[in-house]
Structure 1
Amino acid sequence: MSSRALRAVAVYCGSNQGTDPVYARAAASLGRLLAEQGIRLVYGGGDVGLMGVLADAVRDAGGEVFGVITRALVDREVAHPGLTNLTVVETMHERKATMSDAADAFIMLPGGYGTFDEFFEVVTWTQLGIHAKPCGVLDVDGYFEPLRALLDGAVRQGFVSEVHRELVITDDDPARLLGRLAAWTPVTTDKWLESSER
């Protein structure tokens, strides 16, 4: 299986750190790994929760961090002040589209509604052929086991095809997950939509 060069990875994660320190440790570990491998972090531009931990880890390890944040969130003073580049946009949709365009792959860390929304939008864009980019989940301490069960149940009940279930790559090891994302081959399907139609 051939590998693609991952130059930039978008990471979606919580604006809180969660109740267990394991989540912050995982975010920091992923951040250091991205920097070590020369992969640019693309993320939501925040200085709070796992977002801040992740960005700080990349920056502290000498990596490049590209943040995308809405003006409303900047005005609430949650933007990270020490990024390589921070782009301010007007809407959440513009934020998500900008992050998607800037990334070669996507990773979801633990988080809440916003994290789920952002990740599954790019999964859907892969499914629809809007882009051909791999989507991965870093399963920290079993956090995403219920999600895996949900997706498997959706396959059994006929709402998600087997081939589209494989669009969500799950692993509990960050280095192995990056390797699987780099080795991912797009599913051959008829393209439904263009990127301008998202």
Structure 2
Amino acid sequence: MRIDDALAGWEFAPGRLLQAGLSHGTIEVDAAIEERPMLRFRNQDDNRLRHAGIYALYDWCWGSDQQWLHSTSQQNSVFSHDHGFFLPPSGWRWDAGQLRAKVDEPHPLRQEVDGLLREDLWRFADELDKVDRAVLLPILLRVPSAWPATDTDLETLGWFLERRAVAVASRLRDLL
């Protein structure tokens, strides 16, 4: 979205002012406040479960550039967003060779695990154990052909996600 010059300088949160120009926005999360890089509000809403999912997604998809949205109208429910710097080498210019080179390397989210629940982590681990080609193929087939990803890149991405899933599930189960 574009923030108009007329709105520049408006304090939308204590000490945070709007700047004119391009910015991220969403109509999907009401009253969203962006936080970087710490996950907060673990004890509010269902954020314990949401945080467990973020730990899973971050390791599985080689997360970077941590950005979280909190909905102040929904007890600070957390949402992960802007995954443009996911996949190795933590940037939008990944390719098949980089995925192959990093596939077996752990990439856990380096944040405190206090307050996470074992059953939530295991829930996501169980889902990762179900990831296979049959799950990934329909998702990869939805990538628009106009995007700059070759069939080989997408094939390798599917292989990367399938292969990482079991190891990430194991790391989630060992987190607590």
* Larger of the two Rg values belongs to structure: 2
TM-score (norm 2): 0.28
Q: Please identify which structure carries the higher strand content.
A: 1
* TM-score, reference length from structure 1: 0.26
